[in-house]
Structure 1
Amino acid sequence: MSTSYQDIQKQIVELQAKAEEIRRVEVSAALAQIQAIMQEFGLTLTDIGGGIKSLKSPRKPVEIKYKDTTTGNTWTGRGRAPKWLEGKDKSKFLI
């Protein structure tokens, strides 16, 4: 006797429910174990790398070196030169 598609789908749903329940139990056990270890050694979330992430200082914006006064286009001088500067003397646009 072969099983039907609906029977298999029903089994899948049942197995997924079982798996989720087992996962909840295992996560609870893991959390309890982690809490016990933290209490035993007097650890905090900061000690194990949790909580606040390291704060990086914000980068200072790069100063603009070139500006086209007629259009207002600007360029810092870093990276590839913009199209509006192609074929032009860059020294004329220095700030």
Structure 2
Amino acid sequence: MASYKQLTAQLEKLHKEVAAAREKEVAQAIADIKQKVAEYDLTAEELGFTSQSKPARKAATASVAKYRNPKTGETWSGRGRSPAWLAGKNRERFLIDL
């Protein structure tokens, strides 16, 4: 049975071989693709790299804190599930003056 050091050396060698094989195959695939693009005069739009069908996503907006726990300073925006420190209590007492 091979020792731990021998196995790790074999593993490292295999990792290097995998990386080299991938690099070679990717280079060949890129060359093939470039040749086909030139041969058929393809555009990025024809290949689906630019699409107007997808609607633009709105950027997430940060919520402003509306409630504050005076003991810990923890805040809550009023969105989503209410925190445990606010459960069963009058929320008006915890409102932050804006």
What TM-score does the superposition give when structure 2 sets the normalisation length?
A: 0.49
**CA shift digits 1:58-91 (9 cap, x unpaired):** 42211111112x2212101111110110121011
What TM-score does the superposition give when structure 1 sets the normalisation length?
A: 0.50
Identical-pair percentage: 34
Structure 1 residues 1-95: aligned runs within 5 Å: 29-39=28-38, 40-41=40-41, 43=43, 48-49=48-49, 58-68=59-69, 70-71=70-71, 72-95=73-96
Larger Rg, first or second structure (1 or 2): 1
Q: Which amino acid aligns with 1:61?
A: A
Structure 2 unaligned regions, length at least 5:
1-20, 51-55
Displacement after TM superposition at 1:30 (Å): 3.5
User: Within 2, Cα distance between the matches of 1:89 and 1:25?
Assistant: 67
Displacement after TM superposition at 1:43 (Å): 3.5
Please give the root-mean-square deviation of Cα atoms over the aligned residues, in Å. 4.0
User: Within 2, Cα distance between the matches of 1:73 and 1:27?
Assistant: 51
User: Within 2, Cα distance between the matches of 1:67 and 1:85?
Assistant: 9
Displacement after TM superposition at 1:31 (Å): 2.8
